């Protein structure tokens, strides 16, 4: 690193690596301050000169869009679900998956709350399909009355509805309860059966 007027200059990086480093440094600041975060704060956190931001991004809005897009990337959730121990029972794997989905719902809610002050927000939509979750259902397809992909979508939706803060539940369902509702429903055994 070269010394410039008492400062150390950031090492030269390829543009995509520099973009990724700036986005990574910005994300915690964005989650704390939303769009009010300054480019000065971002540059300080990234260990770069403020002008470097504008060599990589057209403007602050473009940077925040990239931060939102990176924050909403489903790949880490997919990897975490894919890493669930396959030797666990079907139900225990689903409970572990719901724990991961719970964290994802709360994190996305935090990101979207921070993004509420941006002018454009994220312009790219990413698929929310989680093949690793579908794979858990596929491993027990003989126990299901619905196709595994449908079951995965229902579990994601149920988890979202039971965890998202906007639904205002005082006591959200536990991961075990969410899985039990999905697998067993909420009707008592014997009710709703055909009568003679």
Sequential pLDDT tens for the chain (196 residues) = 444 455 566 667 888 999 999 999 999 999 999 999 999 999 999 999 999 999 999 999 999 999 999 999 999 999 999 999 999 999 999 999 999 999 999 999 999 999 986 655 444 445 567 899 999 999 999 999 999 999 999 999 999 988 877 776 677 789 999 999 999 988 777 666 555 4
Three-state SS for 42-62 is HHHHHCCCHHHHHHHCCCHHH
Instruction: Name all domains of the chain by residue range, CATH numbers in brackets.
Output: 13-71 (1.10.10.60), 75-184 (no CATH)
For 47-188, where are the alpha helices, taking DSSP H only? 50-56, 60-71, 75-82, 90-115, 131-138, 148-163, 175-184
Claim: this prediction has a pTM higher than 0.85: no
Which sign does the torsion angle of CA 182, 174, 108, 25 carry?
negative
Please give the angle made by the CA atoms of 94, 95 and 99, to the nearest 5 degrees: 115
Which of 93, 92, 179 minimizes the C-alpha distance to 133? 93
């Amino acid at each position: 690193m070269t010394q410039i007027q008492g400062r150390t200059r950031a090492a030269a990086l390829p543009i995509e690596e520099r973009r990724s480093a700036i986005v990574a440094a910005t994300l915690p600041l964005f989650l704390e301050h939303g769009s009010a975060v300054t480019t000065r704060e971002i540059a300080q956190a990234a260990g770069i000169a403020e002008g470097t931001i504008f060599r990589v991004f057209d403007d602050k809005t473009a940077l925040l869009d990239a931060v939102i897009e990176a924050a909403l990337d489903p790949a880490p959730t997919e990897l975490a679900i894919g890493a669930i121990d396959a030797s666990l029972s079907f139900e225990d794997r689903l409970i572990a998956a719901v724990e991961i989905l719970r964290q994802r719902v709360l994190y996305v809610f935090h990101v979207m709350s921070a993004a509420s002050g941006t002018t454009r927000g994220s312009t790219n939509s990413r698929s929310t399909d989680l093949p690793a979750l579908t794979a858990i259902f596929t491993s027990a397809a003989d126990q299901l009355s619905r196709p595994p992909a449908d079951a995965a979508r229902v579990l994601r939706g149920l988890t979202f509805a039971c965890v998202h803060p906007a639904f205002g539940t005082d006591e959200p369902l536990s991961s075990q309860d969410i899985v039990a509702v999905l697998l067993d429903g909420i009707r008592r055994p014997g009710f709703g059966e055909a009568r003679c």
